């Protein structure tokens, strides 16, 4: 095999390695999305068995995190990527970390669903949590779609969705406080509702982080701690 053939083979294998880690991230994202959907269903329907499955399956999310981290470490050690290839590996590492934390939050919601299964604090609040959960799940799906296509415009839309998530979260918090003042006996259960809302809001923040990593990979600029207006102005259509 002459040197040109060797270089061609090396390049092709490198591309395959990079594509493999991107695919693994999307597989992990799909699992996290399922975990979130089941956790929200368990909370709103009082299905303890479903919630327990979410808790039990969290190890699968963690296993993806470890596997992808090992693959990225191997690529850095053996391939010594530069420029956009290095940015892709860094984007994968950071995105995987946020997906793992979203999985942790889904597990937290599931555990709260188990504790809340026997109580009824007011159906209205459950509907609000269900609505917030649906918004966050759609946001996660949009984030994964943006990652799959490395689409900057869709990544910016994810950031816009986070603004709506924050508004819904704040509304739930105000309503919960009102219930607590009207009936102090409901406070222990309502705290679970509040912590569920907090977990969902943090998931939205994690999705926002991933959208920033996408922009970093495509544009080569770190937009963390940059206002949405500035990002939109600089990179939006």
Model confidence, pTM: 0.90
Give the pLDDT score at 230: 84
Q: Where are the alpha helices (DSSP H) in 80-186?
A: 83-116, 123-149, 152-182
For residues 58 and 35, the answer to whether their CB atoms sit within 8 Å is yes
Residue found by looking up tokens 């701690």 in the block:
225
Structure tokens at 201: 């809001």
- Higher-pLDDT residue of 1, 104: 104
- Summarised one tens digit per residue, pLDDT across range 108-118 is 999 988 887 76
Percent of the chain with pLDDT over 90: 59
Q: By CB neighbour count within 10 A (0-12 exposed, 13-18 middle, 19+ buried), where does 134 fall?
A: middle
**Residue written as tokens 């053939």?**
5
């Amino acid at each position: 095999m002459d040197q040109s053939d060797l270089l061609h083979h090396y390049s092709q294998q490198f591309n395959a390695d990079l594509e493999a880690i991107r695919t693994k991230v999307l597989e992990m994202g799909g699992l996290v999305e399922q975990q979130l959907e089941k956790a929200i269903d368990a909370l709103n329907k009082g299905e303890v068995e479903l919630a327990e499955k979410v808790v039990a399956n969290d190890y699968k999310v963690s296993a993806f995190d470890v596997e992808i981290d090992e693959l990225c470490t191997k690529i850095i050690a053996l391939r010594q990527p530069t420029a956009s290839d290095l940015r892709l590996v860094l984007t994968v590492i950071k995105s995987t970390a946020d997906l793992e934390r979203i999985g942790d939050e889904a597990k937290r919601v599931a555990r709260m669903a188990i504790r809340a299964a026997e109580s009824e604090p007011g159906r209205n609040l459950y509907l609000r949590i269900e609505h917030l959960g649906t918004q966050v799940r759609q946001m996660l799906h949009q984030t994964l779609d943006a990652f799959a296509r490395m689409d900057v415009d869709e990544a910016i839309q994810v950031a816009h969705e986070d603004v709506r998530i924050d508004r819904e979260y704040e509304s739930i918090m105000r309503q919960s406080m009102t219930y607590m003042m009207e009936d102090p006996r409901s406070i222990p259960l309502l705290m679970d509702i509040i912590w569920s809302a907090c977990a969902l809001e943090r998931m939205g923040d994690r999705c926002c982080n991933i959208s920033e990593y996408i922009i970093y990979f495509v544009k080569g600029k770190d937009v963390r701690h940059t206002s949405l207006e500035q990002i939109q102005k600089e990179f939006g259509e």
